[in-house]
Protein backbone atom coordinates (compact mmCIF):
# COMPACT_ATOMS: atom_id res chain seq x y z
CA UNK A 1 0.00 0.00 0.00
CA UNK A 2 1.40 3.32 -1.08
CA UNK A 3 0.52 5.38 2.03
CA UNK A 4 0.84 2.54 4.52
CA UNK A 5 2.38 4.63 7.28
CA UNK A 6 1.41 8.08 6.12
CA UNK A 7 0.40 10.68 8.67
CA UNK A 8 -2.96 11.91 7.48
CA UNK A 9 -2.93 15.57 6.40
CA UNK A 10 -6.00 16.34 8.52
CA UNK A 11 -4.19 15.15 11.62
CA UNK A 12 -1.28 17.45 10.93
CA UNK A 13 -3.83 20.27 10.89
CA UNK A 14 -5.06 19.24 14.31
CA UNK A 15 -1.49 19.23 15.60
CA UNK A 16 -0.94 22.74 14.31
CA UNK A 17 -3.97 24.00 16.21
CA UNK A 18 -2.61 22.47 19.40
CA UNK A 19 -5.55 20.09 19.93
CA UNK A 20 -3.70 17.01 18.69
CA UNK A 21 -2.57 14.50 21.27
CA UNK A 22 -1.80 11.55 19.01
CA UNK A 23 -1.12 11.18 15.28
CA UNK A 24 -3.40 9.09 13.09
CA UNK A 25 -1.92 6.67 10.56
CA UNK A 26 -3.40 4.72 7.68
CA UNK A 27 -2.34 1.08 7.59
CA UNK A 28 -3.50 -2.33 6.48
CA UNK A 29 -5.75 -4.04 9.01
CA UNK A 30 -4.61 -7.11 10.95
CA UNK A 31 -6.65 -9.91 12.51
CA UNK A 32 -6.45 -8.10 15.86
CA UNK A 33 -8.47 -5.21 14.35
CA UNK A 34 -11.55 -7.28 13.45
CA UNK A 35 -13.60 -6.48 16.56
CA UNK A 36 -12.78 -2.77 16.49
CA UNK A 37 -13.69 -2.57 12.78
CA UNK A 38 -17.00 -4.29 13.50
CA UNK A 39 -17.69 -1.93 16.41
CA UNK A 40 -16.97 1.12 14.24
CA UNK A 41 -19.27 -0.14 11.46
CA UNK A 42 -22.07 -0.63 13.99
CA UNK A 43 -21.45 2.79 15.57
CA UNK A 44 -21.92 4.63 12.27
CA UNK A 45 -24.82 2.35 11.29
CA UNK A 46 -23.75 1.02 7.89
CA UNK A 47 -23.99 -2.48 6.38
CA UNK A 48 -22.39 -4.96 8.85
CA UNK A 49 -22.27 -7.83 6.32
CA UNK A 50 -18.98 -8.96 4.75
CA UNK A 51 -16.67 -7.38 7.32
CA UNK A 52 -13.44 -9.34 6.85
CA UNK A 53 -10.34 -7.63 8.27
CA UNK A 54 -7.97 -8.90 5.57
CA UNK A 55 -9.59 -6.63 2.96
CA UNK A 56 -9.48 -3.48 5.10
CA UNK A 57 -7.32 -0.45 5.58
CA UNK A 58 -7.80 1.40 8.85
CA UNK A 59 -7.01 4.78 10.39
CA UNK A 60 -5.20 4.08 13.65
CA UNK A 61 -4.91 6.54 16.53
CA UNK A 62 -2.51 4.89 18.98
CA UNK A 63 -4.20 1.52 18.60
CA UNK A 64 -7.75 2.86 18.40
CA UNK A 65 -9.40 2.33 15.02
CA UNK A 66 -11.08 5.62 14.06
CA UNK A 67 -11.63 4.96 10.35
CA UNK A 68 -12.08 2.04 7.96
CA UNK A 69 -12.61 1.07 4.35
CA UNK A 70 -12.34 -2.04 2.22
CA UNK A 71 -12.44 -3.38 -1.31
CA UNK A 72 -15.14 -6.03 -1.41
CA UNK A 73 -14.97 -8.51 -4.32
CA UNK A 74 -18.19 -9.83 -5.88
CA UNK A 75 -18.81 -13.16 -7.58
CA UNK A 76 -19.15 -11.45 -10.99
CA UNK A 77 -15.60 -10.08 -10.67
CA UNK A 78 -16.60 -6.52 -9.82
CA UNK A 79 -14.98 -4.80 -6.84
CA UNK A 80 -16.74 -2.47 -4.47
CA UNK A 81 -15.37 0.34 -2.27
CA UNK A 82 -17.23 -0.45 0.94
CA UNK A 83 -17.42 0.03 4.72
CA UNK A 84 -16.18 3.63 4.61
CA UNK A 85 -16.61 4.71 8.20
CA UNK A 86 -15.13 7.37 10.48
CA UNK A 87 -15.75 7.58 14.23
CA UNK A 88 -18.28 10.38 14.86
CA UNK A 89 -15.85 12.48 16.94
CA UNK A 90 -13.24 12.29 14.12
CA UNK A 91 -15.52 13.13 11.18
CA UNK A 92 -14.80 16.18 9.05
CA UNK A 93 -11.02 15.91 9.52
CA UNK A 94 -10.21 14.34 6.14
CA UNK A 95 -9.90 10.75 7.38
CA UNK A 96 -12.69 9.41 5.16
CA UNK A 97 -11.19 11.18 2.14
CA UNK A 98 -7.74 9.75 2.86
CA UNK A 99 -9.20 6.24 3.06
CA UNK A 100 -11.21 6.53 -0.17
CA UNK A 101 -8.27 8.14 -2.03
CA UNK A 102 -5.93 5.37 -0.85
CA UNK A 103 -8.31 2.57 -1.89
CA UNK A 104 -8.83 4.18 -5.30
CA UNK A 105 -5.06 4.59 -5.77
CA UNK A 106 -4.38 0.97 -4.76
CA UNK A 107 -6.95 -0.70 -6.99
CA UNK A 108 -7.19 -0.89 -10.78
CA UNK A 109 -10.35 0.48 -12.44
CA UNK A 110 -13.22 -0.01 -12.59
CA UNK A 111 -14.49 0.33 -9.03
CA UNK A 112 -18.07 0.51 -7.81
CA UNK A 113 -19.86 1.47 -4.63
CA UNK A 114 -23.34 2.04 -3.35
CA UNK A 115 -24.43 4.69 -0.90
CA UNK A 116 -27.42 6.65 0.36
CA UNK A 117 -28.30 9.53 -1.95
CA UNK A 118 -27.11 12.14 0.60
CA UNK A 119 -23.55 10.74 0.27
CA UNK A 120 -23.50 10.87 -3.56
CA UNK A 121 -21.77 14.29 -3.54
CA UNK A 122 -19.08 12.95 -1.22
CA UNK A 123 -18.04 10.21 -3.67
CA UNK A 124 -18.25 12.46 -6.72
CA UNK A 125 -15.09 14.18 -5.39
CA UNK A 126 -13.19 10.95 -6.09
CA UNK A 127 -14.44 10.54 -9.66
CA UNK A 128 -17.41 8.25 -8.95
CA UNK A 129 -20.58 8.86 -10.99
CA UNK A 130 -24.12 7.57 -10.45
CA UNK A 131 -24.89 4.68 -12.81
CA UNK A 132 -28.07 3.68 -14.62
CA UNK A 133 -29.04 0.02 -14.02
CA UNK A 134 -27.87 -0.94 -17.52
CA UNK A 135 -24.33 0.21 -16.62
CA UNK A 136 -24.13 -1.62 -13.29
CA UNK A 137 -22.39 -4.98 -12.88
CA UNK A 138 -24.94 -7.76 -12.14
CA UNK A 139 -24.08 -7.97 -8.41
CA UNK A 140 -24.71 -4.28 -7.80
CA UNK A 141 -27.75 -4.22 -10.11
CA UNK A 142 -29.25 -6.93 -7.88
CA UNK A 143 -28.56 -4.90 -4.69
CA UNK A 144 -30.01 -1.82 -6.37
CA UNK A 145 -33.18 -3.68 -7.41
CA UNK A 146 -33.73 -5.06 -3.90
CA UNK A 147 -33.17 -1.64 -2.31
CA UNK A 148 -35.51 -0.04 -4.84
CA UNK A 149 -38.24 -2.58 -4.05
CA UNK A 150 -37.77 -2.12 -0.29
CA UNK A 151 -37.69 1.67 -0.49
CA UNK A 152 -41.42 1.78 -1.20
CA UNK A 153 -42.07 -0.22 1.96
CA UNK A 154 -39.64 1.89 4.06
CA UNK A 155 -41.12 5.13 2.79
CA UNK A 156 -44.60 3.95 3.75
CA UNK A 157 -43.53 2.66 7.17
CA UNK A 158 -41.00 5.28 8.29
CA UNK A 159 -41.59 8.25 6.00
CA UNK A 160 -37.89 8.18 5.00
CA UNK A 161 -37.29 8.87 1.35
CA UNK A 162 -33.57 8.11 0.93
CA UNK A 163 -32.59 6.34 -2.27
CA UNK A 164 -29.68 3.96 -2.73
CA UNK A 165 -27.33 5.14 -5.47
CA UNK A 166 -24.90 2.84 -7.30
CA UNK A 167 -21.79 4.65 -8.50
CA UNK A 168 -18.85 3.65 -10.67
CA UNK A 169 -15.42 4.99 -11.52
CA UNK A 170 -13.14 4.21 -14.45
CA UNK A 171 -15.43 1.89 -16.44
CA UNK A 172 -13.98 3.31 -19.66
CA UNK A 173 -10.49 2.15 -18.55
CA UNK A 174 -11.55 -1.51 -18.13
C1 LIG B 1 -19.19 9.84 5.10
C2 LIG B 1 -17.92 9.75 5.95
C3 LIG B 1 -17.21 8.45 5.66
C4 LIG B 1 -17.02 10.93 5.55
O5 LIG B 1 -15.78 10.83 6.25
P6 LIG B 1 -15.13 12.12 6.93
O7 LIG B 1 -13.78 11.76 7.42
O8 LIG B 1 -16.10 12.68 7.92
O9 LIG B 1 -15.09 13.11 5.67
P10 LIG B 1 -13.89 14.04 5.25
O11 LIG B 1 -13.44 14.83 6.43
O12 LIG B 1 -12.90 13.25 4.53
O13 LIG B 1 -14.71 15.00 4.23
C14 LIG B 1 -14.03 15.67 3.26
C15 LIG B 1 -14.98 16.57 2.50
O16 LIG B 1 -16.19 15.93 2.10
C17 LIG B 1 -17.31 16.72 2.48
N18 LIG B 1 -18.45 15.86 2.78
C19 LIG B 1 -18.60 15.08 3.86
N20 LIG B 1 -19.77 14.41 3.79
C21 LIG B 1 -20.35 14.79 2.61
C22 LIG B 1 -21.56 14.45 1.95
N23 LIG B 1 -22.42 13.58 2.47
N24 LIG B 1 -21.82 15.01 0.74
C25 LIG B 1 -20.95 15.88 0.17
N26 LIG B 1 -19.78 16.25 0.77
C27 LIG B 1 -19.49 15.70 1.97
C28 LIG B 1 -16.84 17.50 3.67
O29 LIG B 1 -17.59 18.67 3.81
C30 LIG B 1 -15.39 17.77 3.32
O31 LIG B 1 -15.30 18.85 2.44
P32 LIG B 1 -14.14 19.95 2.60
O33 LIG B 1 -12.83 19.17 2.54
O34 LIG B 1 -14.34 20.84 1.42
O35 LIG B 1 -14.38 20.57 3.91
C36 LIG B 1 -18.21 9.90 7.47
O37 LIG B 1 -18.90 11.09 7.71
C38 LIG B 1 -18.98 8.73 8.05
O39 LIG B 1 -18.40 7.78 8.57
N40 LIG B 1 -20.32 8.80 7.98
C41 LIG B 1 -21.17 7.75 8.54
C42 LIG B 1 -21.05 6.45 7.78
C43 LIG B 1 -21.33 6.60 6.30
O44 LIG B 1 -22.33 7.21 5.89
N45 LIG B 1 -20.43 6.02 5.50
C46 LIG B 1 -20.56 6.02 4.06
C47 LIG B 1 -21.17 4.74 3.64
S48 LIG B 1 -21.43 4.73 1.87
CATH number listed for the domain at residues 1-107: 3.40.630.30
Distance 149 CA to ligand 1 centre (A): 27
**Which of 40, 86, 127 gets mutated to test ligand 1 (max ligand atoms within 8 A of its CB)?**
86
pTM over 0.75: yes
Q: Domain residue spans in the chain?
A: 1-107, 109-174
CB 63 within 8 A of CB 86: no
pLDDT of 9 = 55
Q: Is the pLDDT of residue 89 over 60?
A: yes
Task: Give the residue whose CA is nearest to atom 46 of ligand 1.
Answer: 84
Please indicate whether residue 44, judged by its CB atom, sits closer than 6 Å to ligand 1.
yes
Task: Write out pLDDT tens, residues 114-166.
Answer: 999 999 999 999 999 999 999 999 999 999 999 988 887 767 776 777 899 99
Distance 87 CA to ligand 1 centre (A): 11
Task: Write out pLDDT tens, residues 10-51.
Answer: 555 455 555 555 689 999 999 999 999 999 999 999 999 999
Distance 52 CA to ligand 1 centre (A): 23
Average pLDDT of the residues in 87-106: 96
Task: Give the residue whose CA is nearest to atom 21 of ligand 1.
Answer: 122
Amino acid sequence: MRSCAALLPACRRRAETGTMVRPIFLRRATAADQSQIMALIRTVGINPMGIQWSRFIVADESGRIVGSGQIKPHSDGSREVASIAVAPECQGMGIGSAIVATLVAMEPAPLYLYCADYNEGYYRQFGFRALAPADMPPSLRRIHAIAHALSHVLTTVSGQTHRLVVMGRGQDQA
